[in-house]
Amino acid sequence: MPRIPCSGRSTRWGSGSGPPERAPRKWACPRVGPRLPSRGRACADSFRRARPLTREREATPVLELLKDPTYIRYWLAVVASFLGDAVTKITLIYVVATETERPVLYVSLVVVAQLLPSGMLGVFVGPLADRVPARVLMVASDLVRAVLALLMIAVRDEPLPLLALILLSGIGKAFFETARLTAIPLIVRGHGIPTAVALFQSTSHTLNLVGPALGGLLLALGSVPAVFVVDAATFVASALLLGSMAVLREVPVPGGDREPYWRALRTGLSGVLATPSLRFLAVVLVPVMLALGLFTTNLNSQLLNVFRLTPFDYGLAQAAFGAGSVAGALLGPPLVRRLSDGRLLSWSVALFGASLLLLAPTGPLHDAVGITPVLLWCLLSGLGSGLFQVPIAHTLLGDLPAHLRGRGVGLFNSLMVNVTVLGALLGAVTADLTGITASLTLTGVLLLPAAALIAVTGPRAAISARETSATAAAPKG
Q: How far apart are CA 92 and CA 381, in angstroms?
A: 28
How far, CA to CA in Å, does 383 sit from each of 22, 329, 430, 437? 30, 8, 24, 19
Cβ contacts of 262 within 8 Å, gap of 6 or more: none
Strand partners, 37: 6
pTM confidence score: 0.72
What does the alpha-carbon distance between residue 238 and residue 240 come to, in Å, rounded to a whole number?
A: 6
H or E element: which one contains 350? helix 341-357
What is d(CA 406, CA 128) in angstroms, rounded to the nearest whole number? 7
Interior/surface letters 308-326, b for 16+ CB within 10 angstroms, e for the rest: ebeeebbebbbbbbbbbbb
Instruction: Using alpha carbons, select from 125, 392, 389, 393 the residue that is nearest to residue 268.
Output: 125
The DSSP result for 406-458, as a single string, is HHHHHHHHHHHHHHHHHHHHHHHHHHHHH-HHHHHHHHHHHHHHHHHHHHHHH
pLDDT digit string (tens) for the chain, length 477 residues: 444 444 444 444 544 444 444 443 333 343 334 444 444 433 333 323 333 333 333 445 666 777 788 888 888 998 888 888 888 787 888 888 777 777 767 877 887 888 888 888 888 998 888 888 999 999 999 999 999 999 999 998 888 899 999 999 999 999 998 998 888 888 876 566 777 777 777 888 788 777 777 777 787 777 788 888 988 999 999 999 999 888 888 776 665 446 788 888 888 888 888 888 888 888 888 988 889 888 887 888 888 888 988 878 888 888 888 889 888 888 887 887 787 788 888 999 999 999 999 999 998 999 999 999 999 999 999 998 888 888 888 888 888 888 888 888 889 989 988 998 888 888 888 888 888 899 999 999 989 988 988 888 765 555 454 444 444 444 444
- Other C-beta atoms closer than 10 Å to the C-beta of 191 total 21
Contact 380, 299 (CB under 8 A): no
CA distances from 247 to 71, 136, 394 (A): 10, 12, 21
